Chain A
């Protein structure tokens, strides 16, 4: 997508990652923000992590690659990977085209649902970008 966008229903991490808490409150889908994909440029490679991987809030859990560079992806929340977006193996550009939809990276089961309190809402994340 060409225009900056930060949906209201997501939670954001200052390292340019988003989390969508599932209705059950126990799982979250993770991805990178519009800002992150725009800074990176065209994503040409995503090698998803293994299902079962333990991810820790604020620490890198996978990488996305543009033509020019490799970027670490930081986990906005802690948990265990229960599903990965394997379609990105064939079509990593979805991370650019639809970062909050088809470009999702992984789904995790949350280790500590209270961690979400530390994340930013869309307005706060947007403000952090302009600062």
Chain B
């Protein structure tokens, strides 16, 4: 592989665990260890551990930090308490989505925003460009300061708790704590639809933290399982389901947009919300054999943006943008899977629910 690819501090751990390594957004990342299906099921039934250190971080601080973020992020940042977590999108003036982000409020004037690896540089430039017009705010690239592990599954919190010096923060909150001797920002968030935590730690502490969690039964899981898990619960992936030429309302992310805050793009988002979008992102399940993939056209208009075989449902599933009048659950779709028409049904999100 090219020498310009980056490695996380856990690269050697991945090789030792038998990972297949792929280039993902400029990083050499584990796509799978024992197998996507087995790792997927481990997360659904017990606990998986993912290295997501390729994700970027931007720290926004200073007395003007909250004002800047209120202008940049679609959600209402004034509602984000210290020790809280908030999901939002970053929009252009025309409402097109630049990224989807979790922001953690570490203090009154200190925020940490987690970016998608493929968008980090663009997000950072966007933050800096707009910070120039605000006083009392510093935007810092924190990507080299943090490694990130996601520990997910029904016993994930139990496993993380066993090595923590205090109680773990609840869902959608964050707190600093010591885990296996490392100073860790523990976040009650995730991308799998399971209970669990995401752990941000100094890169040099990541290997010992990984080892401690694996020793207690966390099953290494790669980006392949991360993708199938998030698809079952219909979480968006930037570059698949979110892109600059579509807005958050079309994507079903109106719930994290508060146009009255005046964020960049809010006028465009408000207009689409008022008139109703021409197309909507729906979840679907293939009726019969076949697996739809990103880019497959939907008959009558639209396209698949994510698709896989669901390990839990045993069927081809995915998400697609379709004309708004075809978006109601129960609507039948025909998807052109490389020349074969595969019947599918629009389903309620999420496709997979605990216990189903």
Contacts and interface: CB of A to CB of B under 8 A. Distances in A.
B221 interface: no
Contact of A47 (B224, B228, B289, B308): B289
Contacts of A89: 289
Interface in A30-46: 41-42, 44-45
B36 interface: yes
B290 A41 contact: no
A41 B309 CA distance: 13
Contacts of A66: 36
A100 B348 CA distance: 42
Max chain B C-beta neighbours (<10 A), residue from A63, A65, A89: A65
A42 B35 contact: yes
B338 A42 contact: no
B99 to A, nearest CB: 23
A41 B35 contact: yes
B204 to A, nearest CB: 32
A67 B228 contact: yes
B20 interface: yes
Contact of A63 (B224, B228, B338): B338
B20 A45 contact: no
B311 A67 contact: yes
Contacts of A45: 289-291, 309, 316
Interface string A44-68: 1101000000000000000101111
Given A41-B224, A67-B37, A47 B290 contact: yes
Contact of A41 (B20, B308, B311): B20
A63 B36 CA distance: 19
Interface in B288-323: 289-291, 293, 308-309, 311, 316
A70 interface: yes
B293 A70 contact: yes
B31 A65 contact: no
Contacts of A41: 20, 32, 35-36, 224
A42 B289 contact: no
Contacts of A68: 31, 36, 224, 227, 308
A67 B308 contact: yes
Contacts of B224: 41, 67-68
A42 B37 contact: yes
B180 to A, nearest CB: 31
A90 to B, nearest CB: 10
A105 to B, nearest CB: 16
Interface string B312-340: 00001000000000000000000000101
Max chain A C-beta neighbours (<10 A), residue from B35, B227, B228: B35
B289 A67 contact: no
Contacts of B36: 41-42, 66-68
A47 B340 CA distance: 11
A65 B228 CA distance: 14
B175 to A, nearest CB: 35
Contacts of B308: 67-68
Contacts of B32: 41
Interface string B50-61: 000000000000
A45 B291 CA distance: 8
Nearest to B228: A67
B234 to A, nearest CB: 17
Interface in B254-300: 289-291, 293
Nearest to A45: B291
A69 B340 CA distance: 17
A67 B224 CA distance: 8
Interface in B1-56: 20, 31-32, 35-37
Contacts of B31: 68
A70 B37 CA distance: 16
Nearest to B36: A67
B328 to A, nearest CB: 28
Contact of A70 (B227, B228, B289, B338): B338
Given A67-B311, A68-B224, A89-B289, 11 more contacts: A41-B224, A45-B289, A45-B291, A47-B290, A63-B338, A65-B309, A67-B224, A67-B308, A68-B227, A68-B308, A69-B293
12 contacts: A41-B224, A42-B36, A44-B37, A44-B291, A45-B291, A45-B309, A47-B289, A47-B290, A67-B309, A68-B36, A68-B224, A70-B291
Interface of A: 41-42, 44-45, 47, 63, 65-70, 89
